[in-house]
Amino acid sequence: MARNSTFLESVDRMFSRAASLMDLPPGLADHIRECNVVYQLRFPVEIRGEIRTFRGWRAIHSEHRLPTKGGIRFSPNVSQSEVEALAALMSYKCAIVDVPFGGAKGAVEVDPREYTEEELERITRRFAADLVRKARLSPSLDVPGPDMGTGPREMGWILDVYKTFHPDDVNAAAVVTGKRPTASGIRGRHEATGRGLQYALREFFRHPDDVKKAGLEGGLEGKRIIVQGLGNVGYHVAKFLQEEDGAKIIGIVEWDGALVDENGLDVESVKQHIMEHGGVKGYGGATYVENGASVLEAECDVLIPAALEGQITEENAPRIKAKVILEGANGPTTAGADEILRRRGVFIIPDVYANAGGVTVSYFEWIKNLSHIRFGRLERRFEEMRGQQVIQALEELTGQPVPQSIRDVLTSAAGELDLVRSGLDDTMRNAYNEIKETLARRPEAEDMRTAAYMLAIEKISRAYLEHGVWP
């Protein structure tokens, strides 16, 4: 094995470690591990007076549940094996958080920064047309979402292309998730992965045995956190942990260096600086470190890699000082680094569980699109009225007015965002506890990642065996 294995080799190694501890029917683990089908698409787009050919992929990893689900990444450095690794992680992730989808992933080899919005629209639409015609994109078979380099804008274009091909599909909006809330999306999707990471870390701190295992004490308040990548995932998790849990963000690592401040950085103002200047360099309110990667090795309680895969390797793993690694990115830790960190007792809350908030809320969005109604629309006023009736009854019984603070609680019914957050919180808590139960049942797993993979393999193999392996 190479010193630092590729992303796909890493995912396969982590999978195989878990599968080797299980008693599966012969051949089933191999079948689950491999991608079922990978479409490689080459498509032409006219750009600035010439025909440019782009390469894209859609990897369908596991169809034990349909539709398959997974984001579309726009990146100049993407490769087929990376897409396959990401698709595999999607299958395991969905199983762990009980989202009834198979795993998939897509990508286009393109640097979005090199193209205008109008050119990106043409590239996205052309890729989407190929996905509909050749790779069975549909609300019931394969449903993409956003990933690095894509967002609600691209999802809107993909939906529009699908509708052009299928104008009579009443469920068309469910063909893609991560859309704008005003364009058949759902409130809370944009923040969902960061929010899910926050819920996962809160759940960790509810388990004193895990907190102790990690060499920490107490709760989240005042904990020192370093975040790598202040994009969608990193920004939201850092902001929520700072503003709602009283954690201190003492380091932010970006592509052009890092910022450090023991007293805590202001996440919002750093984000503002990045939006204006493209990176963290030149930010006045903290110490700038040119070698950003070195800050991954700084003293802290929690390290949150939320940028790219392969950031914690066999090379830097021996020097990582974080007590807990909360994996926001997909595959930030290589399999070799994972072994080193396990031996060193670093507590890893693995990607395959921790960053599942995005797909969980995508699932809610898909259900909303299929049911054609906003969550809470039927019951909200009814709940408010019930609250009023309870207040009236209390006042009649006691002869005293109900204080305003209690009135507010009793009459505030949940809207869509409240319900989405509640469903996400419940999902992240349940999954954490299921992984812990798996670890208690199978202590030979030793760590949370292996237990999470075992849980995923148990659920996927059960689905295969219950349905039968049918030609």
Identity of the residue, 308 or 390, whose beta carbon is nearer to ligand NAD in the bound complex = 308
- Site string (143-182) toward ligand NAD, x via CB under 6 A: ----xx----------------------------------
Question: Can you tell me which of 6, 62, 198, 228 binds ligand NAD, judged by CB under 6 A?
Answer: 228
Identity of the residue, 196 or 336, whose beta carbon is nearer to ligand NAD in the bound complex = 196
In our burial notation (b when 16+ CB lie closer than 10 A, e otherwise), range 297-320 reads bbebbbbbbbbbbbbbbbeebeeb
Contact 93, 60 (CB under 8 A): no
Tally of CB atoms within 10 A around 2: 9
Identity of the residue, 172 or 259, whose beta carbon is nearer to ligand NAD in the bound complex = 259
Show the DSSP H helices in 2-143 as ranges: 7-20, 28-33, 80-96, 117-134
- What is the distance in angstroms between the CA of the first residue and the CA of the last residue of the chain? 35
Instruction: State how far the Cα of 180 lies from the Cα of 151, in Å rounded to an integer.
Output: 9
Give all strands of the β-sheet with 50-62 in edge-to-edge order. 37-47, 50-62, 102-109, 68-75, 142-146
Question: Can you tell me which of 254, 301, 416, 447 binds ligand NAD, judged by CB under 6 A?
Answer: 254
Instruction: State how far the Cα of 102 lies from the Cα of 93, in Å rounded to an integer.
Output: 9
CB of 367 to ligand NAD, least distance (A): 18
Identity of the residue, 306 or 317, whose beta carbon is nearer to ligand NAD in the bound complex = 306
Q: For residue 415, give the amino acid letter.
A: G
Q: Known catalytic residue: 105? A: yes
Question: Can you tell me which of 38, 104, 108, 230 binds ligand NAD, judged by CB under 6 A?
Answer: 230
Contact 172, 187 (CB under 8 A): no
Instruction: State how far the Cα of 101 lies from the Cα of 287, in Å rounded to an integer.
Output: 44
Query: Quick one: angle between helices 335-344 and 7-20, nearest 10?
Result: 50
CB of 380 to ligand NAD, least distance (A): 27
> Applying CB under 6 A, which part among 244-252, 253-261, 384-392, 418-426 lies near ligand NAD?
253-261
Q: Which two tokens stand for residue 434?
A: 């299921």
Contacts with 405 (C-beta within 8 Å, 6 or more apart), sequence order: none
Question: Can you tell me which of 70, 102, 144, 229 binds ligand NAD, judged by CB under 6 A?
Answer: 229
At 312, give phi and psi (nearest 5°). -110, 110
Question: Can you tell me which of 253, 312, 354, 456 binds ligand NAD, judged by CB under 6 A?
Answer: 253
232 binds ligand NAD (CB under 6 A): yes
CB of 206 to ligand NAD, least distance (A): 23
Active-site residue identified among 69, 93, 105, 368 = 105
CB of 324 to ligand NAD, least distance (A): 18
Identity of the residue, 253 or 341, whose beta carbon is nearer to ligand NAD in the bound complex = 253
Question: Can you tell me which of 38, 83, 96, 233 binds ligand NAD, judged by CB under 6 A?
Answer: 233
360 binds ligand NAD (CB under 6 A): no
Residue list 73-112, contact with ligand NAD (CB under 6 A): none
Instruction: State how far the Cα of 197 lies from the Cα of 228, in Å rounded to an integer.
Output: 14
Instruction: State how far the Cα of 176 lies from the Cα of 263, in Å rounded to an integer.
Output: 42
Identity of the residue, 185 or 292, whose beta carbon is nearer to ligand NAD in the bound complex = 292
Identity of the residue, 308 or 402, whose beta carbon is nearer to ligand NAD in the bound complex = 308
Residue list 284-343, contact with ligand NAD (CB under 6 A): 292, 306-308, 328-330
Question: Can you tell me which of 139, 185, 188, 358 binds ligand NAD, judged by CB under 6 A?
Answer: 358
Q: Is the dihedral of CA 175, 178, 182, 188 positive or negative?
A: positive
> Applying CB under 6 A, which part among 3-11, 225-233, 281-289, 315-323 lies near ligand NAD?
225-233
| CB burial of residue 463 (10 Å; 0-12, 13-18, 19+) | middle
Please work out the total of residues on this chain that contact ligand NAD, with binding judged by CB under 6 A.
Answer: 22
CB of 209 to ligand NAD, least distance (A): 27
CB of 16 to ligand NAD, least distance (A): 22
Site residues (CB under 6 A) for ligand NAD?
Answer: 147-148, 193, 228-234, 253-255, 292, 306-308, 328-330, 355, 358
Catalytic residues: 105
